[in-house]
Amino acid sequence: MNAMLRTVNRVLLVLTGLCLIGGGAAALVAALDLPRRWGFSPPSGWSWRAPHDVLLTHADRTQWREEGWWWPVVIGGLALLVLLSLWWLLAQLRRRRTAEIAIDSGDGAGAVLRGHALENVVAAEAEALPGVDRARVSLTGRRGSPRLSVGLLLTPQAGPDAIVERLRTETVEHARASAGLDALPAEARLRAAHHGEERVN
């Protein structure tokens, strides 16, 4: 997801830059009346030729209004643009996972620990705690100062206080020590599993 988002951001940045450069160049050419001064002709159909011309003439703006397909295409295009903009905005606001952690190997060279591997280890140890049905772990933050986000699905008989205490003092502490980190902040979200329906004879 992060790789795709980076690619989308770069493509949007390039397209925005090209549009701004092209629009600025066209405005400069028209404002300085360069076609007349330098003796060249703009492309056919291009209405922005002189300082007093406009980019879209009245005829250009209204020529398709009477066509039956015009307004559905406009509305559909704007709706698609809004949806894509919302997707892009939500993708930017989501916390990005940390791919790797920089750790001190003790030899001065340093090493890296894959974030996905640490997530799996923490999730497995959390699921081994009594009263935990499932665990989901995400590693966020920067390489040198990561953070853990832990989601726990508890069994109906579980004691949340005891689970949180063991998660903090055992699971998270083991992860911090194994990664050689000075601190490993963690956020836990607990959710209780619902009782299934029981049939009584």
Amino acid, single-letter form, for residue 114: R
Q: How do the domains of the chain map onto residue ranges?
A: 1-63, 67-94, 100-192
> Per residue in 46-78, pLDDT tens?
666 677 777 666 776 777 777 788 778 888 999
Assess contact for 147 and 140: CB atoms under 8 A.
yes
> Per residue in 87-119, pLDDT tens?
888 877 665 677 778 776 666 666 778 888 889
Domain 100-192 has CATH 3.30.43.10: no
Assess contact for 171 and 126: CB atoms under 8 A.
yes
Assess contact for 175 and 121: CB atoms under 8 A.
yes
Whole-prediction pTM value? 0.51
